[in-house]
Structure 1
């Protein structure tokens, strides 16, 4: 049987786990949340962060017990049936191929600003081509690129927090201690009311998408169970430091209602404390985050496609791997749509590309919901059939699992009543309905009798698939 190969090193997985949660949205998109919520945006990040921590702990429990390239899609398959694994797997694949187009376009805009003579569409295609090539070569090359991309992002955030912290207490030359005025003045900590904290979550919750990549990548390491357990236990301090820490610096140093805070708050902070060349430096860091996201997107979409093909839910040819253990056909299938989406963004940004964005906007929440429901069901099976595999357990099971499910549903309901988020939810539900119909057709075509509950696979066999 053709198999993926354990080509990712421990340092690759560690840096993917640390840096995977840091995307361009943190550096750029956080400004809109600050403007709409005020200083209380830090509570929005905290609530969203708590949801992510709980979901990742649940996913970690399942991944450590039974590592799989299909991750939550494979677990949904076992917990709820093939229709669930099929649906969430294809939705997740859809999400990442759309992200490829979004990030390629964003990266092209930055480079085009530096080199106006190069057309943006050519830059986008070139960036896509380079990162596709690295993924086609070996999983190790993906890991190496991601290691350095993540190292730059992590270094930038740590340095930002350190400089911002010194500025807050007036320890940098030319700065004075700022006190609490920006947090409690200008309308108070809740200038738009407490309800803005919940709606603020809608602008920040999707920034956390990407944390789950490490559970997919761990299956291509030498000791996947241990790697997952180590990565998951670090998720709490990652969120505390990178998100809550950096946002706390921003809202403490800058008035929430200033025009600077509403655009690129990180650049505004660096300008405020007198760091020269803040804009181009941040452009470079954002470009690094974009390239990291693209690199991860190619990898993640292809591995999900590979897993779906292994289970008979995608063309079997996608399971073919190269001599280096790379599923090249799954990669080509994933990036082909990414290239098409890049073209749609340039030829029809107002209609076709807007549809693509909206149709994948709520997938993160769908994934988290499926993870929680799967863990709720599989935990009982592991305790009954293989308790020795539960080396990383979900806290407060099943109470915290149910609380997480209720929290995710609450965010989805909030999206329904928010005018700006409603199109994303409705279009995402529409795409999910189409995929569900495809799942029903697929299951009907292959149904020959009662389908027994799938057995829990051997963790060593599952890890190399």
Structure 2
């Protein structure tokens, strides 16, 4: 997950390439779509897809289609608020406008903690990918190595994450597209010359049992299908940078269609290359599918690409949660000490507070090496989509003001089928949360997330009480 600041840096990088002033609004709809893909695709898909496949089998394709619909609705709702109310800073401000200061506080801290958990899941995924070559080395050792590398890069105060993320956006897209092309050649028979494949054959999806784990399997897999769409809210916030606001619909449609196509097509090819029950949670499904082939170093090359892309996402996520904490501190919703900088201008305290989650990850990877990724992803996913519900509810409440403004100023951007589409999004998210409780493995992550929300809610009440006391003194 990348913070809005990183996405905006990528936007500025695109402007510089076209020799445009950094303050000038002027990216095209297709550039926003490309930025979105680069910001969203990460280890949540490269590894999380294996968990989803294991839980539900071939019906994982249906799970990703439903997840795409939910993300599309969430993207649209935030984009409508951003375009019609551009002066407001972020989704926290929209929640505050709709439901008061407490909801803004809760939304902000849920986003930060979800970011910490997502960052931790990225580190875990990186460690899992690396064990492809070193299966006998314990997971926590790689977690330590990657945590230190990520912290070191952030401590150096890298200024232009936009260039880094733009480069790895291309890497991620290239990796998936190359896999899809290779899979298409395999299905057509061109990528399986004699001697290159050991018994590999195209598996017919029509003859498979699509629901081997029943409806409950599909239900419990939804959280892992939603997780790869985690960054849509941030990209929606960056939609104000479009050259023409009316082209936002093109950007949304192009981004979501591209993501759904990349995700669903690559998973369908994986299921055609290897049987779903051969997918291992401890290995990327892409690597498992390619292991059917005897082409030298093919799996290793793809694994290197995946690790490179996932590491950039991890570094960006650590940078992102640091900036989210700074934003909370500036608004008086986090300790002011987080705003302190060192001589290089790095917010060391905010960075270390966010990095504390890495210590917990290292400990859990030592104690629970086989289940840590599922726990982290479930907890992060629950907080993430709960925040999506707040975004959707805020849009339902706030859009009445936009309708009034549009009659006076002129129509800007209206979400399709609103408010019914927002209600549908909330309903599907609630169903997903219920599905999480069905699976015993995910239930722990749900309880942890619920506990976090309760703690944040109590803290918001105390913060509100403290503000009232200060106002009385004044």
| Fold similarity call, TM over 0.5 | yes
Counterpart for residue 92 of structure 2: 73
Q: Specify whether residues 226 and 297 from structure 1 end up closer, same or farther in structure 2 by C-alpha distance, changes over 3 A only.
A: farther
d(CA) in 2 for partners of 1:367, 1:359: 13
1:378 aligns with 2:398: yes
Q: Secondary structure at the match of 2:268?
A: helix
Counterpart for residue 36 of structure 2: 17
Q: Specify whether residues 300 and 399 from structure 1 end up closer, same or farther in structure 2 by C-alpha distance, changes over 3 A only.
A: same
1:332 aligns with 2:374: no
Counterpart for residue 235 of structure 1: 255
d(CA) in 1 for partners of 2:410, 2:362: 46
d(CA) in 1 for partners of 2:118, 2:80: 27
1:161 aligns with 2:180: yes
Offset at residue 323 of structure 1 (A)? 11
1:396 aligns with 2:417: yes
The 5 Å alignment of 1:364-375 reads: 364-375=384-395
Counterpart for residue 191 of structure 2: 172
Q: Secondary structure at the match of 1:362?
A: helix
Unaligned runs of 5+ in 1: 451-465
1:428 to 443, 449, 456: 449
Unaligned runs of 5+ in 2: 16-30
Counterpart for residue 418 of structure 1: 439
Offset at residue 358 of structure 1 (A)? 6.1
d(CA) in 2 for partners of 1:153, 1:61: 29
Moved more, 191-200 or 205-214: 191-200
Q: Secondary structure at the match of 2:47?
A: helix
d(CA) in 1 for partners of 2:202, 2:124: 39
The 5 Å alignment of 1:120-139 reads: 120=142, 122-133=144-155, 136-138=157-159
d(CA) in 1 for partners of 2:462, 2:421: 35
Residues 65, 389 of structure 1: 8 Å contact kept: no
1:341 to 360, 363, 376: 360
Residues 202, 272 of structure 2: 8 Å contact kept: yes
Give the alignment's Cα RMSD to 1 decimal: 3.9
Q: Specify whether residues 384 and 100 from structure 1 end up closer, same or farther in structure 2 by C-alpha distance, changes over 3 A only.
A: same
Residues 128, 282 of structure 2: 8 Å contact kept: no
The one-character-per-residue Cα deviations of 1:54-101 (angstroms, maximum 9, x if unpaired) are 111111222233458963222111111111111121111112123333
Q: Specify whether residues 229 and 294 from structure 1 end up closer, same or farther in structure 2 by C-alpha distance, changes over 3 A only.
A: farther
The 5 Å alignment of 1:31-430 reads: 31-67=50-86, 71-108=90-127, 110=129, 120=142, 122-133=144-155, 136-138=157-159, 141-174=160-193, 181-186=203-208, 188-215=209-236, 232-258=252-278, 263-272=283-292, 274-316=294-336, 318=338, 328=347, 331-345=350-364, 349=368, 359-385=379-405, 388=409, 391-430=412-451
